Amino acid sequence: MDTSSQASLATLAGFIRKVQWVAVALAIIWLVSKLSPILTPFVIAALLGWLGDPLVDRLQARGASRNVAVATVFAVMCLILLIVLLILVPIIVRQVSMLAESWPQYQAWLTNWFYDKLAPWVQSTFKFDLVGWFDSKHLVEMVREHWQRVGGIAATVLGYLSRSGMGVVLWMANLVLIPVLAFFFLRDWDMFVERVASLIPRESLATVSKLAKDSSDVLGGFLRGQFMVMIALAIMYGAGLSLVGVKIGILIGLIGGMLSFVPYLGPTSVVLMGTVAALVQGLGWKGVAGVGVVWAVAQVVESYVLTPKLVGDRIGLHPMVVIFAVMAGGTLFGFVGMILALPASAVFNVLLRYWVDRYRHSEAYLGTQEDETVAPASHGTPAAPPSQA
């Protein structure tokens, strides 16, 4: 067999391997989409095990056995979770009760705002009768005209409500499963890594190991830093809104802090909910200004202190990419997709940097020596005459 035939066979074999890898990736994506309802506790437990594994390794390096190190880290994680629950649950219950008691005031304020502010503005700007569209007679007439479609929607809603009881049971089961699965992931994490590494082709092991380490470092630093930023923002929002006089300020702060992992969503929710709460309570524009001051101070602290110190540019993704990743993950794979969106984005970013680096060192980017000598002439610059001996 001549050299050209061998090269063709090698190229064909490489193409077949790439097709096989693409098929495996598509099969995994399809499987995740089908199993997403039951994957939530496994994904959360795997993240907890991955985050706790470095601490276990440090304890082992100091002479502790694997079982003792795992038991210690797991106990500390459970203790932290228990303390957080003991502190937060009573506060959240009080805040929700306060919101339920004042809900008639919110309802009355929203009704007045709709009829006195929003509807007249829509009428004058767009020449559209918003009040008439929401009138009961108009709604009944619309139901009569589209009763079949409404019946289908009602059947869907009733079906969802009938399944909601089972959904609650599944969520409770997932909550019980998470600590159990987290313990096993924490105990056997190194074994899982070794088994996956044993399946990687030997010629690619060094490259894959480096990419995996870079992805783990990027993602671990980002998640730990972002979690601390979320806690700090929740405290600042809650304490600031409470000082301003917003009764449910702590609840709004907790919501804003949890949503801050999606760029702009957390601050926007704090401004909207805080403004409505201040107006409903009768704090007036001074209360709204206070909400604005709390928001501005928190944003300055986050932008110039918290994020640079705790998170930095570890994930290296534009905020729009993060928003798209979270929304796309939630749309494709539900809650599991939202959890996996940022880890997948971080890994993809590491792989993209690797591919770009390889491309910039490739012949396709640098060109051949002949191209480099011809390139100046193509820009209209005459080549230098050869020197005379």
pLDDT for the residue 147: 54
- 141-159: pLDDT as tens digits: 655 665 555 455 555 544 5
Higher-confidence residue of 240 and 382: namely 240
Q: What is the band of 280 on the pLDDT scale with cuts at 50, 70, 90?
A: confident
The answer to whether residues 53 and 186 touch, using CB atoms and an 8 Å cutoff, is: yes
CA-based max dimension of the chain: 101
Two tokens, residue 85? 């629950």
Spell out the residues 6+ positions from residue 290 whose beta carbon is closer than 8 angstroms to its own. 244, 245, 278, 283
- 242-273: pLDDT as tens digits: 999 888 899 999 999 988 877 778 889 999 99
- 47-69: pLDDT as tens digits: 888 888 888 888 988 888 888 99
Two tokens, residue 222? 């980002």
pLDDT for the residue 273: 92
The answer to whether residues 338 and 330 touch, using CB atoms and an 8 Å cutoff, is: yes
Lookup result for tokens 């880290």: 73
Lookup result for tokens 């830093």: 225
Angle between helices 66-101 and 103-113 (to 10 degrees): 60
Q: How far apart are CA 86 and CA 81, in angstroms?
A: 9
Q: How far apart are CA 117 and CA 279, in angstroms?
A: 14
Q: How far apart are CA 266 and CA 167, in angstroms?
A: 27
Higher-confidence residue of 382 and 353: namely 353
Please report, to the nearest 10 degrees, the dihedral formed by the alpha carbons of residues 29, 31, 33, 38 taken in order: -130
Alpha helices in 245-368 (DSSP H): 249-258, 265-280, 284-301, 319-360, 363-366
Q: What is the mean pLDDT of residues 56-85?
A: 88
Give the chain's mean pLDDT: 77
Which of 123-127, 206-210, 239-243 has the highest average model confidence (pLDDT)? 239-243
- 124-139: pLDDT as tens digits: 787 777 666 666 565 5
* Closest listed residue to residue 307, CA positions, set 388, 242, 239, 222: 222
